[in-house]
Amino acid sequence: MRIRFWGTRGSLPKPGRATLRYGGNTACVEVRTASGGLIVLDCGTGAHELGQSLPETSQRPLRGHLLITHTHWDHIQGFPFFAPLFDASTEWDIYAPGGLGKRLEETLAGQMEYTYFPVTLEQLGATVRYHDLVEGAFEIDDVYVLARYLNHPALTLGYRLEVGGASLVYAVDHEPHAGHDTEADAEEKTALPVHQEDRRHIEFLAGADLVIHDATYTLEEYSQRVGWGHSPVEYAVDVAVAARARRLALFHHAMSHDDDAMDRIVAGCRERVRARGGDLEVFGAAEGQVIELPERQPRRAGGVDDTARRITAGGVGRRTVLIVDDAPDVLSVLMRTLQIEGYRLLTADDGESALRIARAERPDLILLDWILPVRDGLAVCRALRAESDPKLRDVPIVLITAQTEPEHVAAGFAAGATDYLTKPFKVAHVRSRVRGWLLRTSASANGNEAGEPP
Ligand SMILES: [Zn+2]
Ligand SMILES: [Zn+2]
């Protein structure tokens, strides 16, 4: 695999003298396989230069695959300026998280509406196929792709690409699920995180030759930005070390981090790796930088279960969500947030009625407050997990609580919670978390009968 960074920043392009070395463009990474395959990760403003280079570096007719993590501006703003899309001889397959009601094509067309842009999506000359993805696996030619939901206020997928024994993970626009404590001593830092989703994140990165990871903030900056969906650099280092990855590219540089700030951040990260006794190589992703990951063995395509393409035709709009909270203000915020998604909503304000409603209505997801009258959230979790109805035993339960201490988080998972969201939460986070769990469960419940990719 040959990887080239065309845009490394997050949020907003930052051209100018202070960003010459690490670059000023937003997220776009080119991946070439030994067999000539072309995969583009995200389509931020860096995609413009990439598009200019492709006629010289590619065979004709040009064929490419574009993997979009999510449709926040900094990941799609280069799309209308990506020249190969206007070339009738080229073919593109475009993939992004789906099942959100609005399909990928409509979302991309949105930023090209007359008000914002003079050319519409229909005017693109290339043959373009759109693919909605959920968490799971699929293949692009001889490349095995694993898509995994990340923790971000919009539903976001990270991608792990494997070919010929070489592996690359692209995990941007993600923040730790259970905070990140820099003061913990070295022994605690090497222990696995208590939040199950943080553990899954480390599994996702496991043994990768290169991890391109969100590293938007320093830990100090992150303390003021919890819930914004981005990682402190220290977390990126710690998960990459825990995953025994070989190299870590800090990515999605903050608007306020110029070249000098990036040099200091990279030096700090290397110091952190040394202090932990790791051999991880850390660098700040720089525009124009090329990384080669040798492919050690040939890989034949086929044999992969296409789980990432199993999206139900109707999406998740008509699913039932039970919200359990005794605080009327929290209940009404959650109701208003989830009503927008078109779910069927049920509510309860104590543990006993929560159980009664769950048994009668068999919801697809439960948002559950920990502290409740009659029976608390943990008791409700345990009772549901002991039911004879498999739907209730397996229903995703997202525990919502202000308890952030590791022992509390661990107790929540031990009681049978599927996920753990700490208050104060951002409503956008609740939306993306609920969507993610509903999509995950609908994809696995639908098995082979699920729809074909569009
Ligand atoms: Zn971003
Ligand atoms: Zn984003």
pLDDT digits (tens, 9 = 90+) for 17-69: 999 999 999 999 999 999 899 999 999 999 999 999 999 998 889 999 999 99
Q: Given pLDDT bands bounded at 50, 70 and 90, which one contains residue 308?
A: confident
Cβ atoms of residues 442 and 436 within 8 Å? no
The neighbourhood of ligand 1, an ion, using CB within 5 A, equals: 10, 74, 173
DSSP state of 309: G
Per DSSP, the three-state class of 30 is strand
> Residue 312's pLDDT is what?
63
Interval between CA 10 and ligand 2 midpoint (Å)? 8
Q: Given pLDDT bands bounded at 50, 70 and 90, which one contains residue 304?
A: confident
User: Does the pLDDT value for residue 196 go beyond 50?
Assistant: yes
Closest to 170 (Cα-Cα) out of 202, 205, 198: 205
> Residue 102's pLDDT is what?
67
Ligand positioned closest to the Cα atom of 77: 1
Cβ atoms of residues 361 and 322 within 8 Å? yes
> Residue 20's pLDDT is what?
97
Q: Given pLDDT bands bounded at 50, 70 and 90, which one contains residue 101?
A: low
Q: Could you give the dihedral angle defined by the CA atoms of residues 126, 13, 156 and 196, in that order, rounded to the nearest 10 degrees? A: 150
Cβ atoms of residues 225 and 11 within 8 Å? no
Mean pLDDT of 149-178: 95
CB atoms within 10 A of CB 381: 24
User: Does the pLDDT value for residue 193 go beyond 90?
Assistant: no
Quote the CA–CA distance of 143 and 167 in Å, as a whole number: 10
Quote the CA–CA distance of 342 and 357 in Å, as a whole number: 20
Cβ atoms of residues 418 and 398 within 8 Å? yes
Q: How far, CA to CA in Å, does 162 sit from each of 33, 297, 327, 410? A: 10, 11, 47, 33
> Residue 441's pLDDT is what?
82
Q: Given pLDDT bands bounded at 50, 70 and 90, which one contains residue 301?
A: low
> Residue 449's pLDDT is what?
34
Mean pLDDT of 99-126: 83
DSSP state of 18: G
> Residue 447's pLDDT is what?
44
The strand ranges marked E within 72-155 are 91-97, 127-133, 136-140, 143-149
Per DSSP, the three-state class of 90 is coil
- Which helix (H) or strand (E) segment holds residue 67: the answer is strand 63-67
The answer to which of 45-49, 69-73, 190-194 has the lowest mean pLDDT is 190-194
> Residue 317's pLDDT is what?
64
Interval between CA 74 and ligand 2 midpoint (Å)? 7
Mean pLDDT of 227-233: 94
> Residue 443's pLDDT is what?
63
> Residue 185's pLDDT is what?
44
User: Does the pLDDT value for residue 116 go beyond 90?
Assistant: no
Interval between CA 229 and ligand 1 midpoint (Å)? 9
State the chain's mean pLDDT as an integer. Answer: 90
Mean pLDDT of 237-247: 96
Q: How far, CA to CA in Å, does 159 sit from each of 63, 150, 421? A: 20, 10, 24
Q: Output 427 or 387, whichever has higher pLDDT.
A: 387
Structure tokens at 206: 């496991």
The answer to which of 61-70, 408-417, 420-429 has the lowest mean pLDDT is 420-429
Q: How far, CA to CA in Å, does 271 sit from each of 136, 259, 280? A: 35, 18, 11
> Residue 454's pLDDT is what?
28
Interval between CA 141 and ligand 2 midpoint (Å)? 28
Phi and psi torsions of 276, nearest 5°: -90, -5
Whether the CA torsion 308, 248, 253, 13 is positive or negative: it is: negative
User: Does the pLDDT value for residue 349 go beyond 90?
Assistant: yes
Interval between CA 195 and ligand 1 midpoint (Å)? 24
Structure tokens at 64: 């490419």
Label residue 53 exposed, middle or buried (CB < 10 Å: 0-12, 13-18, 19+).
middle
CB atoms within 10 A of CB 371: 14
Q: Given pLDDT bands bounded at 50, 70 and 90, which one contains residue 348?
A: very high
Mode of pairing for the β-strands spanning 2-7 and 290-292: antiparallel
Quote the CA–CA distance of 44 and 262 in Å, as a whole number: 20
84 upstream amide cis, omega within 30 of 0: no
Ligand positioned closest to the Cα atom of 428: 2
User: Does the pLDDT value for residue 271 go beyond 70?
Assistant: yes
Residues of the chain with pLDDT > 70: what percent? 91
Ligand positioned closest to the Cα atom of 74: 1
> Residue 424's pLDDT is what?
85
Structure tokens at 426: 């951002």
Bridge partners (DSSP) of residue 247 are 210, 281
Interval between CA 176 and ligand 1 midpoint (Å)? 15
**pTM more than 0.85:** yes
> Residue 178's pLDDT is what?
83
End-to-end CA distance of the chain: 28
Phi and psi torsions of 97, nearest 5°: -60, 135
Ligand positioned closest to the Cα atom of 27: 1
User: Does the pLDDT value for residue 316 go beyond 80?
Assistant: no
Interval between CA 133 and ligand 2 midpoint (Å)? 17
User: Does the pLDDT value for residue 187 go beyond 60?
Assistant: no
